[in-house]
Structure 1
Amino acid sequence: MRLIIFGTLNGQIGAATRIALQRGAKVIQVEDIEQGLNTLRSGRGADLAMIDVSLDVKHLVDSLKAERINLPVVACGIGNDARAAVAAIRAGAKEYLPLPPEADLIAAVLEAVAEESHQMLFRDPAMGQVVRLAEQIAPSGASIMITGESGTGKEVMARFIHMKSPRSDKPFVSVNCAAIPDTLLESELFGHEKGAFTGAVARRLGKFEEANGGTLLLDEISEMDVRLQAKLLRAIQEREIDRIGGSKPVKVDIRVIATSNRNLADEVAKGNFREDLLFRLNVVNIKLPPLRQRPADIEMLSTFFVKKYAEANGVPERPMSPATLEALRLAPWRGNVRELENTMHRAVLLAMGSQIELADVRLPDGSALTEAIGRGTGATAEASAGEAGTPANMVGRTVADVERDLIIDTLKHCLGNRTHAATILGISIRTLRNKLKQYSDEGLAVPAANEGTRVTA
């Protein structure tokens, strides 16, 4: 956990720093926003920013957004000043933290905003075999490809490997290749010099240099444009990168881990992925089994999530009834651990009795879990999207109209989660994003993006 603190926090900087350090964070403190931005541009990355409300919170948030530095911001101020808190949240801060700091409150904010966990929670033998393989190859420097369905915990596995490697005291840097437009991904990875393109207001080091000495995770690499793959291949082979607008190559020392929820051999055959890059990345393949093939993990993970969200929401931790546990084991869980987590969060909020009953476990649309079991579709209710339009209702409509309704309905059922919706629809996240932009340009209301919580198994 890397924390950057902007300002003096009204004289509470020492106390806040000590608490963060005790909680395992690595802390950088800067006096003002420009100094902090220069620090971030130089490759000294962070997972979370805390800023004194006496500074311009909006300027920091806008500057981070303009330079595509994805960093959650927490504002801090003396006491429970409601006006300062509201102003900070409106300016774009994720949370407001009253000062003087309390250890438990800072710990909760660090966990909730950064959402960082290195736990590998499992009980099923199928997952145990995968974890043993990960532990065996972690000390090496080999590139690793982690594959598996969406929501199985690929990024958590990557963090686990990093923490078990000799690079554990160095940075772990993650890049979601599906979430960054193709035109910006090259700069995000390799960095740029000042003036290299419109908007390049200063030199910025990319993720390769930020991860120097540590591990770089290329999440959902199958979504990367094939033209950029050639530059990535050279960077991995030569262990050097070229900044956009730079005059000479820069040496880097990193371990690369990549993930994909697609069959990359099929993508190679389609011409969407370079075969030589696949060979370079796939030195060791770790395939994560879907949750439905890890039945022993379902009860353990459900119990873990119940405890987690009961504490987070200040409600009693209720045990699950036998009927509830049996239904959870029978559900196919197409969204895997992420879907199970969201389902148990909902159940914790809905439960009113002495235990979590089957009636408390609901799908996003409010229907019962038993309906999903009967359909064999899991708790995402993705079948509902298909049932929304019967053949009779489709007659007389264009293919484009039917496709649009299917995409929007599926996205609604996934609560705005683009990655999950694309998986259900069987299309790439890039195709989905292009379709949604088209619909938005046509004036159609598109569900807001919501990529859910980090998988913790």
Structure 2
Amino acid sequence: MSMRLLIIGTLNGELINASRIAMNRGAAVTHAEALDQGMNVLRAKGADLVMIDVSLPVAELVETLARERMRLPVVACGTGTDARAAVAAIQAGAKEYIPLPPDADMIAAVIEAVAADNRSFIWRDPAMEKVVKLAEQVAGSEASILITGESGTGKEVLARHVHQRSGRRNKPFISLNCAAIPDNLLESELFGHEKGAFTGATARRIGKFEEASGGTLLLDEISEMDPRLQAKLLRALQERVIDRVGGSKPVPVDIRIIATSNRNLAEAVKDGSFREDLFYRLNVVHLKLPALRERPEDVLALAAFFAEKYAEQNGLPLRPLSAQARDLAVAAPWRGNVRELENAIHRAVLLSSGAEIEADALRSPDGEGLETAPDDSAARAARTAEAVTRSLVGRTVAEVEQDLILDTLDHCVGNRTHAAKILGISIRTLRNKLNEYSSAGVTVPDPGQRRMSA
């Protein structure tokens, strides 16, 4: 998906160069001379990033975006010698300041940071592999998808993964958190409004349905949507048209809907808080994300990723997690899931000073040690056993047997007699198996040696 960049300011030579650099990096650039014109562009088309000339009222832009509930980053740019203006822009709410004349690498880094937006999708655990495989199978279709799971499990990240593997990947991916917006404003956020439709509607504004045209609309925490709006949403899905608030004619839309919920929507249907017909319209494909505590291999992969990310962000040396820290991470309940793990690793990176991130650096926000299961060792053993069991599913008995025999032989440094005793088989049976593997081209260690790959 191309980054949608809006540049606000007079396009002199330096801003023209900045625009050209951004387009060379794959951004779709729109220009507005003044603040009012820029806001009209955002109301009509939306954007992912705003770059504004520091000589314009940056604070007013930030305040206007907040007032109109447009959540997008603002970057100020100006002459490199104007240090006072740069400080003022950051204090006003700009996320970054780019000195002019523009540096291509810096503009590219800003665009890349916004495009990434913490959307890295990492998984290793077989429990997640099953979900991801199903997601990728249906990504190319137009089917609506319902993603459920506890808060912080990565529902939005999975939705973006689906979008990136769909035929809509080069069109917008727009996300709206239904729980974060009051009911009386959510209708306008979804469907847009005409000028004068209600108090404060000073100009026409498109809603998320129109902003996502051709692409994907993610409705986060859809279970919190008011039943009256559920009816309007159902019509939009069935008829592919929406009505702006205060509008006089339907507006056609072409989007794919992905919805998320941390509640059981089937139960919400039973208790009458969610429409049954909308539930079935959304639940064409159901992707259920397991909790992080049920994905031990993901805990370690994500912990390593976050450790590298925050070491780089804070200019600190990369420190791997110690064996004890890894054990603690796998044993922790992670009720906040990936979000809680990320925060814990961020703190640990800042607190660590040795060669590794030690277990005592993994703390809760109040400085206490991480909570673990009541019986730490038993819980860890159970999780490890579960992970090992899941890793065997889908493999043949012969494949598992071969790995077991060769790994045991490695452990015994090639000693056939010792390996046979551990495996509970005769030395003759072991030799026959090893001859069979050698004939198939598999490396078998000689006595006193390990396999080259070990």
Query: TM over 0.5, yes or no?
Result: yes
Give the Å deviation of 1:266: 1.4
Match of 1:308 in 2: 309
Kept in 2, the 8 Å contact 1:9–1:77? The answer is: no
Match of 1:16 in 2: 18
Normalising by structure 1, report the TM-score: 0.78
In the alignment, structure 1 residue 38 sits paired with structure 2 residue 40: yes
Match of 1:6 in 2: 8
Q: Which deviations, in whole Å up to 9, do the C-alpha atoms of 1:239-262 show, x marking residues without a partner?
A: 100111111111111111000010
- % same residue: 67
Aligned ranges for residues 366-381 of structure 1 at < 5 Å? Answer: 366-369=367-370, 372-374=371-373
Give the Å deviation of 1:107: 3.8
Match of 2:185 in 1: 184
Query: Aligned equivalents of 1:22 and 1:344: distance in 2?
Result: 35
Kept in 1, the 8 Å contact 2:331–2:373? The answer is: no
Give the Å deviation of 1:20: 2.7
Decide whether aligned partners of structure 1 residues 23 and 350 sit closer, same or farther in structure 2, where only a CA change above 3 A counts.
Answer: farther
Give the Å deviation of 1:114: 6.0
Structure 1: give runs of 5+ residues left out of the alignment.
378-457
Kept in 1, the 8 Å contact 2:333–2:373? The answer is: no
Query: Aligned equivalents of 1:72 and 1:23: distance in 2?
Result: 18
Give the Å deviation of 1:298: 1.4
In the alignment, structure 1 residue 164 sits paired with structure 2 residue 153: no
Aligned ranges for residues 327-346 of structure 1 at < 5 Å? Answer: 327-346=328-347
Decide whether aligned partners of structure 1 residues 102 and 374 sit closer, same or farther in structure 2, where only a CA change above 3 A counts.
Answer: same
Task: Provide the aligned length of Structure 1 versus Structure 2.
Answer: 374
Give the Å deviation of 1:360: 1.4
Decide whether aligned partners of structure 1 residues 312 and 104 sit closer, same or farther in structure 2, where only a CA change above 3 A counts.
Answer: farther
Give the Å deviation of 1:67: 2.5
Match of 1:155 in 2: 156
Query: Aligned equivalents of 2:81 and 2:346: distance in 1?
Result: 28
Q: Which amino acid aligns with 1:223?
A: E
- SS at 1:19's partner residue? helix
- SS at 1:5's partner residue? strand
- SS at 1:51's partner residue? strand
- SS at 2:195's partner residue? coil
RMSD, aligned CA: 1.9
Kept in 2, the 8 Å contact 1:2–1:48? The answer is: yes
Give the Å deviation of 1:92: 2.7
Give the Å deviation of 1:358: 1.0
Query: Aligned equivalents of 1:335 and 1:108: distance in 2?
Result: 30
Decide whether aligned partners of structure 1 residues 104 and 299 sit closer, same or farther in structure 2, where only a CA change above 3 A counts.
Answer: farther
Normalising by structure 2, report the TM-score: 0.79
Match of 1:239 in 2: 240
Query: Aligned equivalents of 2:312 and 2:80: distance in 1?
Result: 24
- Work out which structure has the larger RCO, using CA pairs closer than 8 Å and 6 or more positions apart in sequence: 1
Give the Å deviation of 1:355: 1.2
Stretches of 4+ moved more than 6 A in 1?
A: none
Query: Aligned equivalents of 1:18 and 1:133: distance in 2?
Result: 40
Give the Å deviation of 1:63: 2.3
Structure 2: give runs of 5+ residues left out of the alignment.
377-454
Decide whether aligned partners of structure 1 residues 51 and 376 sit closer, same or farther in structure 2, where only a CA change above 3 A counts.
Answer: farther
Query: Aligned equivalents of 2:375 and 2:130: distance in 1?
Result: 27
Match of 1:136 in 2: 137
Q: Which deviations, in whole Å up to 9, do the C-alpha atoms of 1:315-356 show, x marking residues without a partner?
A: 100121111111111111111111111111111111011111
Match of 2:422 in 1: none
Q: Which has the larger radius of gyration?
A: 2
Give the Å deviation of 1:11: 3.4
